[in-house]
Amino acid sequence: KAGVTQTPRYLIKTRGQQVTLSCSPISGHRSVSWYQQTPGQGLQFLFEYFSETQRNKGNFPGRFSGRQFSNSRSEMNVSTLELGDSALYLCASSLGGPVATDTQYFGPGTRLTVL
């Protein structure tokens, strides 16, 4: 089975621009979660989508948004980029069932640099 794929792997943007990142989950997985990883704040949860609906949300400003398509692929969008948005963005997919029997599998991440 193919793993979680994220595109693009690297991205350079300037302040004020917007960016869209893509995540393709493992086949059969219906849940996709997004995380931001920075040296200062560590790994922080952004949001989770399950069957095209946002099921959980972290504490990020409204500039961060996401969506999920009927094939479970997910995109996240960041508008009006700030320098502090430079980070590794990771997505994880899972079946979306009970935690006791479910496992999140992570993609390699998209490295976003904001200049």
Partner 1 sequence: AQSVTQLGSHVSVSEGALVLLRCNYSSSVPPYLFWYVQYPNQGLQLLLKYTSAATLVKGINGFEAEFKKSETSFHLTKPSAHMSDAAEYFCAVILSGNTGKLIFGQGTTLQVKP
Give the residue, chosen from 13, 20, 58, 65, that forms a contact with partner 1 under the rule CB under 8 A: 58
End-to-end CA distance of the chain: 37
Evaluate whether 93 touches 2 at the Cβ level (below 8 Å). Answer: no
Is residue 94 near partner 1 by the rule CB under 8 A? yes
Is residue 35 near partner 1 by the rule CB under 8 A? yes
Give the residue, chosen from 19, 48, 72, 76, that forms a contact with partner 1 under the rule CB under 8 A: 48
Contacts of 52 (CB under 8 A, 6+ apart): 67, 68, 69, 70
C-beta closer to partner 1: residue 18 or 52? 52
Is residue 90 near partner 1 by the rule CB under 8 A? yes
The residues pairing with 42 across neighbouring beta strands, listed in sequence order, are: 38
* Helical residues (DSSP H) of the chain, grouped into ranges: none
Evaluate whether 13 touches 112 at the Cβ level (below 8 Å). Answer: yes
Is residue 114 near partner 1 by the rule CB under 8 A? no
C-beta closer to partner 1: residue 50 or 64? 50
Evaluate whether 88 touches 79 at the Cβ level (below 8 Å). Answer: no
C-beta closer to partner 1: residue 85 or 107? 107
Contacts to partner 1 by CB under 8 A: 4, 31, 33, 35, 42-45, 48, 50, 55-56, 58, 90, 92, 94, 96-109
